[in-house]
Amino acid sequence: MGEVFLDALIDTLWVLPFLLIMNLLIELLEIKTSGFRAKKILKGGVAPLVGTAVGVVPQCGFSVVATELYSKRRIALGTLLAVYLATSDEALPIMLSSYEGLQKVLPIIIIKICFSLIVGYCAFGIEKLIANKKSNAAVGTVGFDDADGDGHSHGDDEHAHSHSHDHNGDDGEEIHAHGCHRHELGGENGTLDENATKRQRAARVFNVYFKHPLIHTATVIAYIFIVNVIFNIIVYYVGEDRLAAFIGSTGYFQPALAALVGLIPNCAASVVITELYVVGGLNLGGAAAGLCVSAGIGYAVLIKQNRPIKNTVLVIALMYVLSVALGTVVTALGF
């Protein structure tokens, strides 16, 4: 049983540097710029491509970083899906460790990269269309009010209110964050008294640049560790061999069941799927479904951090349905 806690600790520590660096960078950018969202960072047309490239790297920390960014709406849904679908976690190292796995790794990589790009850019295009429709609807509403004769000022006021709301952010987080920074800095524009001591200045730097990201990182890491322990205990008592044998005996239902295993927010899921695929107990379609949906601990962080909860459910449902559909098509093609 001690191995369960040790493995959970090791898996958690692998994520720690990625999460801490990301939180520190976000804090710095929020302070140094007039609004992180206004810069449209990581929301451009190249974002799904970058997300796919990052996701292919065999490290579950990137899915956690992407989840954190998405929960704060720093990246779009298409980018998050691209990262999740491309995430390899433990799959690539296991495949590359044996000759049998080496022969099978290329089709999986190609499928995951192509599918991540397709889904990422489809979601990106749909989001752009929805945003354009909302923008056109807002303009049309103002024009209708103007033509009404007595609604001119009312339409302008509504447009101004809407613009102010959009500028402040979807959830008001931006204003809250900057207001918090101003309070900690001790003045409206973040200046200290010129007679402040070095200790006071050092305390100011810590409070502004390090305090919040350190607290946030510690909270998320503690949550990740607890989730890892829980699922490691489940795997310990169920057994990877039993889980693998169950999936391997399901025939044409392999994509659906492999994807269910892939949803487990732990690297054990990708380990089971990959090992079963390498030894021939899982066909290419089942492996593609299970490894595409497998985003590691990213799902646990998504459930904890992302709001509203219906959006979290939507993301997980999309991942499952898309991955099963992919696996079913690959299986139907005879692979």
Residue given tokens 């800095």 in the structure block: 185
Question: Is the pLDDT assigned to residue 122 strictly greater than 70?
Answer: yes
Q: Tell me what pLDDT residue 177 has.
A: 41
43 falls in which pLDDT band (50, 70, 90)? confident
Collect contacts of 28-36 with beta carbons under 8 A, ≥24 apart.
Answer: 28/209, 30/174, 30/177, 30/178, 30/181, 31/181, 31/208, 31/209, 35/167, 35/169, 35/174, 35/178, 36/74, 36/174
Q: What is the pLDDT of residue 274?
A: 83
pLDDT of the residue at 296: 82
What is the model's pLDDT at position 11?
74
Taking alpha carbons only, the member of 301, 264, 308 closest to residue 18 is: 301
- 169-211 pLDDT, tens digit per residue, is 444 444 344 334 444 444 444 455 566 777 777 777 777 778 8
3-state secondary structure of 231: helix
Give me the pLDDT at residue 180, please: 42
**Whether the predicted pLDDT of 119 surpasses 90:** yes
3-state class of 13 per DSSP? helix
Q: Is the predicted pLDDT of residue 20 greater than 50, yes or no?
A: yes
Model confidence at 271, pLDDT cuts 50, 70, 90, reads confident
User: Using CA atoms, how far apart are residues 170 and 70, in angstroms rounded to an integer?
Assistant: 13
Report the alpha-carbon distance of residue 253 to residue 278 in Å, rounded.
Answer: 19
Q: What is the pLDDT of residue 113?
A: 94
Tokens 């899906």, located at residue: 81
Distance CA 227, CA 304 (A): 11
- How many other C-beta atoms are found inside a 10 Å radius of the C-beta of residue 6? 11
Question: Cβ neighbours of residue 153 under 8 Å, at least 6 residues apart?
Answer: none
- Residue 41: pLDDT over 50: yes
Give the pLDDT score at 189. 41
The 10s digit of each residue's pLDDT in 44-97 is 888 999 999 988 876 667 888 899 889 988 899 999 999 999 987 667 777 776
Task: Output the pLDDT for position 316.
Answer: 97
User: CA–CA distance from 33 to each of 26, 101, 172, 307 (Å)?
Assistant: 10, 47, 17, 25
Give the pLDDT of residue 40. Answer: 60
- Does 265 have pLDDT greater than 90? no
Q: How many CA atoms lie within 13 A of 170 on its CB side?
A: 11
> What pLDDT does residue 82 have?
95
- Three-class DSSP category at 35: coil
Radius of gyration of the chain (CA): 23
User: For residues 157 and 40, which has the higher predicted lDDT (pLDDT)?
Assistant: 40
Largest separation between any pair of C-alpha atoms in the chain: 77
Q: How far apart are CA 264 and CA 139, in angstroms?
A: 45
- pTM > 0.75: yes or no: no
pLDDT for 30 equals 62
CA distance 122 to 325: 16
Q: Residue 224: its pLDDT value, please?
A: 74
pLDDT at 327: 95
Pairwise pLDDT comparison (277 vs 208), residue with the higher score = 277
